[in-house]
Chains A and B, each alone.
Chain A
Amino acid sequence: MSAPVVRPLRIVVAEDEALLREGLVRILERAGHQVLADVDDADALLAFVERTTPDLVITDIRMPPTHTDEGLRAAIAIRAGHPETAVMVLSAYIADAYVADLLDSAPDGGIGYLLKDRVGHVRDFLSSLDRVAAGGTVVDPEVVRQLLRRSRSDGPLAALTARELEVLAQMAEGHTNQGIADRLFVSEAAVRKHIGSIFAKLPLDPDSDRRVSAVLTYLRG
């Protein structure tokens, strides 16, 4: 097994599409994680979490019976009731409403939002899971790119330089300082300097983690 396993996670998978559910379980088990249960609706998911308190929940947003946002509501409920359980939400497409709801519900991290396509990039997907389980916030690069494309001439982000925005986008995707340095081809010290000036320029919530707060500010535009 070449995928790096930080620690075996106890995971519950919720996905109503049988093919994808099986695929996910296979990927997770091959990576050495323990899949406690795989369920196909949000009620079963909540019941399982209540009983087993897993390390991580992976849930589709759309699930029966209404096929709208059951998974998302379950994710928010789990983050509120079980701070020790991290949640990775999977979505078939980007919907702003989802991202905002999700991030607002978890100001202390431990949450992720990825497009389903990302699962096929198994190595990246597994490392995203590890980061979320470790209390990080992971947002799909596509979502980040889309948010970046919007004009934000009036928001708090207007104060940032292009480079600082780039660094912040990488933070939003959940990368570490070293990871950002590698991706932007700069030194880690340079990244730390940029992050310092980002923290100084943004109006951050003093009670929460500055990194998470900055990312949230970024994602809200």
Chain B
Amino acid sequence: MTSPPDAWTAVRGRPWRFLLSAWPWRALAYDLGSVVVGLAWLMLLALVLGIGLSTVILVVGLFVLAAVPALAHLAAVLERRRLRLVLPHGTEESGERPSLRESWRVQRGLPVAWSEVGHLVLLATLGWLVGLLAAAVAAAPVILLLAPWLADDDVIDFAGWRIDSGPEPWMASALGLVLLVVAAYVVTWLACGHAALTRLLLDPSDARLAEAVAAVRRSRSGLADAYESERRRIERDLHDGVQQRLLALTMTLGSAELEAEGPTLTLVRQAHEQAEQALAELRTTVRGIHPRVLTDHGLTAAVHEVADRSPVPVHLGLALDERLPAPVEAAAYFFVSEALTNVVRHAGAGSAQVHAWTESGSLVLTVSDDGHGGAEPRPGSGLEGLRLRVEAMDGSMRITSPPGGPTSVRMTCPLP
């Protein structure tokens, strides 16, 4: 038998199941809590408003009043937690919850959430009254139930009904039993109503949170773009500057070789070889920064080049008809490049495959090999670096590499 997921479901379910469950008690706890919390907020709010309004003429008051939205946020955070008493599911976001401190810090950067302020005002005024009503409703049947014992010592005056002797206390007790059932329902309904109103007011701040996350994402992809254009600039400077000069140097040395003789010729040849080595090293560096073929011809040509350099035979299946946005091309290129490097270094593979295609507005790229598997993205590893790079583009990466192989790495990146 599964128990209902929250008080609202329970109260609408079978009466016996509801009455014997913990939900009426949890609802009561919530209601009583509302009284304590609501009154506490009322006093605090009155204090802040009092000080704020009385010192507003000294400007200080404005700062005091400015603290109200922050207090409202604090109240919202606490109420969300208290909400779990009656609605354990569907309140807080899933996954990692920000700590109170983080939440507080984020709050300072966001515009005033008037719904949270409204919620605080309601909690400080109506909230505790509702709680008080629930407390009274819960207290009535308890008093009636205890009537036979209470009547021994005293006279009970219950809503104009004087209970003092004879069968009356027992009738009262029986009535109390009935009222207990009614009270359970009323208390739970009140709690649910209060909780629903709280959620109604606080849920819009989830939308604000989503907005804040979107802003963070934008700044992240902005950083990635800036990083990418910086790489391109460095590549361009090296390619157009140093590389050309070295090339011109090898030409001059090549000409000198034709005319030099004896020991001079040996020296010139050495100089030529050294210049060529420097050129080769520079070319490797430039390729690692941002290959020119990628800029000029796009992903397909650049991946062909990587595949051609690979000591492990690579089969390519690239279904990309047109150029992709530059940041996506760069991320995809480095993905293939790094994945193939891993295949060569670690996989012990006989061959590898690279496939790329676009699918519902995303670029999908897979690199697989027939090696021994067991690949894992450790922190600081190339694979982990790739994941971060792909995620900065709002993409995702997945590795399947059972021991014994085969290994397949797949990235998906949305096309803007």
Contact = CB atoms under 8 A, between A and B. Distances in A.
Contact of B239 (A1, A92, A119): A92
Interface stretch (B99-107, B127-135, B247-255): B247-255
B301 A119 contact: no
Interface stretch (A15-23, A39-47, A174-182, A203-211): A15-23
B157 interface: no
Interface string B295-316: 0110001001100110001010
A1 B258 contact: yes
A149 B76 CA distance: 66
Interface string B231-275: 000000001100111011011111101110000000000001001
B338 interface: no
Given A122-B257, A150-B308, A95 B251 contact: no
B359 to A, nearest CB: 25
B258 A20 contact: no
Interface stretch (A24-32, A49-57, A81-89, A194-202): A24-32
B276 interface: yes
Nearest to B291: A93
B354 interface: no
B308 A149 contact: yes
Chain A interface, >50% SS class: helix
A95 B305 CA distance: 7
Nearest to A143: B308
A20 B249 CA distance: 9
B82 interface: no
B293 interface: yes
A30 B252 CA distance: 12
Contacts of A120: 247, 250-251, 253-254, 272, 275-276
Contacts of B301: 95-97
B292 interface: yes
Contacts of A23: 247-248, 251-252, 255
B32 interface: no
A134 interface: no
Contacts of B309: 146
A117 B292 contact: no
Contacts of B28: none
Nearest to A96: B304
Contacts of A146: 308-309
A97 B296 CA distance: 11
Interface in A147-181: 149-151
Interface residues of A, number: 34
A142 to B, nearest CB: 10
B247 A20 contact: yes
Interface string B43-62: 00000000000000000000
A67 B292 CA distance: 11
A95 B301 CA distance: 7
Contacts of A96: 301, 304-305
A122 B247 contact: no
B297 A95 contact: yes
Contacts of B305: 93-96
B279 interface: yes
A2 B245 CA distance: 26
A95 B287 CA distance: 13
B244 A17 contact: yes
A187 interface: no
Contacts of A68: 296
B344 to A, nearest CB: 14
A154 to B, nearest CB: 11
Interface in B327-344: none
Contacts of A62: 296
Nearest to B305: A94
A122 B258 contact: yes
Contacts of B255: 23, 26-27, 30, 122
Contact of B251 (A93, A119, A149, A150): A119
A24 B251 contact: yes
B247 A93 contact: no
A117 B258 contact: no
Given A19-B244, A92-B239, A96-B301, A27 B293 contact: no
Contacts of A220: none
Contacts of B304: 96
A119 B292 CA distance: 20
Contact of A123 (B247, B250, B258, B293): B258
Given A68-B296, A95-B296, A95-B305, A2 B258 contact: yes
Nearest to A30: B255
A28 to B, nearest CB: 10
Given A1-B258, A19-B244, A95-B305, A117 B296 contact: no
B254 A27 contact: yes
Contacts of B257: 122
Contacts of A123: 258
Contacts of B259: 2
A113 to B, nearest CB: 15
A29 B363 CA distance: 51
Instruction: Name the residue in A69, A122, A123 with the highest tally of chain B Cβ atoms < 10 Å from its Cβ.
Output: A122
Contacts of B253: 120
Given A23-B251, A120-B251, 4 more contacts: A19-B244, A19-B248, A27-B255, A122-B257
Interface of A: 1-3, 17, 19-20, 22-24, 26-27, 30, 62, 67-69, 92-97, 116-117, 119-123, 125, 146, 149-151
18 contacts: A2-B259, A17-B240, A23-B251, A23-B255, A67-B296, A69-B296, A93-B292, A94-B305, A95-B297, A97-B301, A117-B247, A119-B247, A120-B247, A120-B253, A120-B275, A122-B257, A150-B313, A151-B315
